[in-house]
Amino acid sequence: MTGQTLAGQSVRYLFVGVYNVLFTLAAFWLLDTLWGALVGVQTVYWTSALLGIVNGFISQRLFVWRSKGAWRGELLRFLVVNVIVAIANSALLFVTVTLWGLPAFPSQVAITAVLVVLAFFANRTWVFGGVEKHAADPTEEHR
């Protein structure tokens, strides 16, 4: 991988990451505003997290890594990383909102700021860690 390729991926990752964080936070805010009192912060969080994970995988695969490899393997690794991040996020929301009584949206913003850095390194090194690193399985469908 050339320095120019890495720089381009880094810039695209930054833009897609900001977009996906804003998308997920907007989903969280909308769901919390409309149904938060009815369904609770955990349901709001998990619904917005699922929407963010799907949006994140599609946008990273297409616009950041421009992957043409085996999408199923990438999706599986992406889901593993994001489920771990989501569980950590859920636990931190429980502590900040349920136990400490802090407001849900500012808590989610702060939690997101920390976890997005950890997710960046996991996605960069393991999930999409050089598309050429995860060679396509010839028996798998490619898209």
What pTM, to 2 d.p., does this model score? 0.69
Q: pLDDT-derived band of residue 130, with 50, 70 and 90 as boundaries?
A: low
pLDDT at position 140 over 70: no
What pLDDT score was predicted for residue 36? 96
What pLDDT score was predicted for residue 93? 96
Q: According to the 3-state scheme, what is the secondary structure of the chain?
A: CCHHHHHHHHHHHHHHHHHHHHHHHHHHHHHHHHHHHHHCHHHHHHHHHHHHHHHHHHHHHHHHCCCCCCHHHHHHHHHHHHHHHHHHHHHHHHHHHHHCCCCHHHHHHHHHHHHHHHHHHHHHHHHCCCHHHCCCCCCCCCC
pLDDT cut 70: percent of the chain above it: 88
- Give pLDDT tens digits for 42-95: 999 999 999 999 999 999 999 988 887 788 999 999 999 999 998 999 999 999
